[in-house]
Amino acid sequence: MGGMSGKRANGEGSIYPYKNGFAAYVWVTTPEGDRKRKYVYGKTREETHEKWIKLHSEASKGPVQTRHRTVQAFLAYWLESIVKPNLAPLSYVSYEGSVRLYINPHLGGKRLDKLTVRDVREWLTKLAGICQCCAQGKDARRAKARQRCCAIGECCEAFPSRRVIQAARDALRAALTHAVAEEEIGKNVASLVKVPKPRRRRIKPWSVAEAGRFLADCAARDDHLFAAWMLVLCLGLRRGEVLGLTWKSVDFDAGEIYVDHQIQRAGRQILHRETKTEESDDFLPLPALCLKALRMRRAQQIGDRKAAGELWQDTRGLVFTTKYGTPIEPGNLTRMFALRARRAGVRVIPLRNTRHTCSSLLVALKVHPKVAQRILRHSQIAMTMEVYAEASEEEVRAALGKLSDAMGGAS
């Protein structure tokens, strides 16, 4: 500014001392079309002047937002304009849920630029102790006669899990990263808060004998999903990958399948989309038993098709379908897995925990190590040769013998 002579520099007129520094304003047109003053603040006159110049040029280019947005308003914009068009539908569903249920009720009303690390920390601490049945009125939505907890004053203490809390923090952090990039705020306060990592429940995977018992039971009952369980247990395929498999991707002559699609549920729709990454697209060799199971499945589907007649709906040649040819719900596959494990008298474990059984099963089925190596593509399971440590040889042989009998009998 040079020595402050009596004459003020251009635009100085609107700069005045304010609190412990200076303030200035520019007349701007808001997005709603009103003329309003927009203020800038700085520690020194120079800093304030620079901000004033920047604001001036912004105002000459077009409308300027004078009120800082609330967290809620920013999140709504972020979900609609950034997340929805650019991310996978499932990411949108998960972010939207976190925003609606966990962020907005507590932080939504705060001004985005005034949000502090402390606000975020206090919010997360508080969230851990809020019964979600009460907060979301879950019990209140039940028919009067069926209300059994919060609505009748007996709080069921359905506190959010660590995983839910972490997801809420991650959603806020992702949104604020964007606000920083768009220069609405200076720093991301959500990334400065530590959240305890969710505790992983350690679940012992099935032994080969257990897997063998389960498969033999399904084969004996001519289970429509028998081939699905084979692919999950022998190839370590994920739920969505098995359900997204089409006949086009099964090569019976070469004895291979190509895994490149998955079925997912996102909110109200079922999606048949490409797998997440290029490297999960892979030609996998099919052990003889899996090939046989897929042949059996093909025969079953032809039978279903005949039985359904007019009602059959052809869905892009999927291998696993309901008896009317429609895709199988991912959630249903998980439920059916638990039901069938109970029916076979085997320990119930989550479907996704079966990936660890895969390597042992391949060894027990005497699949060539080179082939096994290809099958275990992205499971970082070392090929174990000490598979038999937990089950005696006879037990394993008996279970697998039953399985091949069942398959012999079923074909």
Residue 183 lies in a domain: yes
pLDDT classification of 225: cutoffs 50, 70, 90: very high
Report pLDDT for 380.
43
Q: For position 285, which CATH number holds?
A: 1.10.443.10
Same domain membership, residue 276 and residue 389: yes
Residue 330 lies in a domain: yes
- Which of 143, 163, 192 is the endpoint of a domain? 192
Same domain membership, residue 258 and residue 397: yes
Determine the residue type at 134: C
Q: What does the H/E/C string look like for 66-110?
A: CCCCEHHHHHHHHHHHHHHHHCCHHHHHHHHHHHHHHHHHHHCCC
246: exposed, middle or buried (C-beta count within 10 Å: 0-12, 13-18, 19+)? middle
Q: Which two tokens stand for residue 66?
A: 């004078």
Residue 285 lies in a domain: yes
Average confidence (pLDDT) over 124-140: 88
Please give the residue that has the higher pLDDT: either 103 or 27.
103
Report pLDDT for 261.
73
Q: For position 166, which CATH number holds?
A: 1.10.150.130
Q: Which residue has the tokens 């040769």?
A: 385
Report pLDDT for 100.
93
Least confident of 217-226, 295-304, 385-394: 385-394
Same domain membership, residue 98 and residue 34: no
CA–CA separation, 47 and 40 (whole Å): 10
Least confident of 79-88, 208-217, 290-299, 356-365: 356-365
- For the stretch 285-331, pLDDT in tens is 888 888 999 999 999 999 999 998 888 887 778 899 998 888 888 88
Determine the residue type at 204: K
**Cα–Cα–Cα angle for 365, 367, 372, nearest 5°?**
120
Report pLDDT for 377.
57
Residues 192 and 82: beta-carbon distance below 8 Å? no
Residue 202 lies in a domain: no
Residue 248 lies in a domain: yes
Q: Which two tokens stand for residue 279?
A: 């490297």
**Which sign does the torsion angle of CA 240, 332, 247, 236 carry?**
positive
CA–CA separation, 184 and 79 (whole Å): 16
Q: Which residue has the tokens 């709080």?
A: 155
Determine the residue type at 6: G
Least confident of 18-27, 91-100, 133-142, 397-406: 397-406
Q: What is the DSSP letter of 286?
A: P
Same domain membership, residue 117 and residue 147: yes
Average confidence (pLDDT) over 208-227: 89
Residues 167 and 94: beta-carbon distance below 8 Å? yes
Same domain membership, residue 251 and residue 120: no
Same domain membership, residue 239 and residue 169: no
Measure Cα distances from 8 to 15, 21, 88 in Å: 10, 18, 55
Same domain membership, residue 146 and residue 38: no
Measure Cα distances from 321 to 326, 327, 333 in Å: 5, 5, 11
Residues 351 and 238: beta-carbon distance below 8 Å? no
Same domain membership, residue 372 and residue 226: yes
Residue 328 lies in a domain: yes
Residue 199 lies in a domain: no
- 7 has pLDDT over 60: no
Q: How many domains does the chain have?
A: 3
pLDDT classification of 271: cutoffs 50, 70, 90: low
Same domain membership, residue 102 and residue 249: no
What is the maximum span of the chain, computed from C-alpha positions, in angstroms? 104
Least confident of 145-149, 193-197, 386-390: 386-390
pLDDT classification of 385: cutoffs 50, 70, 90: very low
Same domain membership, residue 52 and residue 130: no
- Which of 158, 192, 226 is the endpoint of a domain? 192
- Which of 136, 158, 192 is the endpoint of a domain? 192
Residue 2 lies in a domain: no
Same domain membership, residue 112 and residue 44: no
Of 73, 71, 95, residue with least CA distance to 83: 95
Length of the chain: 411
Give the domain extent around 114: 71-192
DSSP string, 339-406: HHHHHTT-----GGGGHHHHHHHHHHTT--HHHHHHHTTT------S-GGGSS-HHHHHHHHHHHHHH
Q: Which residue has the tokens 């697209």?
A: 281
Same domain membership, residue 266 and residue 145: no
Average confidence (pLDDT) over 150-176: 89
- For the stretch 349-382, pLDDT in tens is 888 777 777 777 777 777 776 677 667 654 444 4
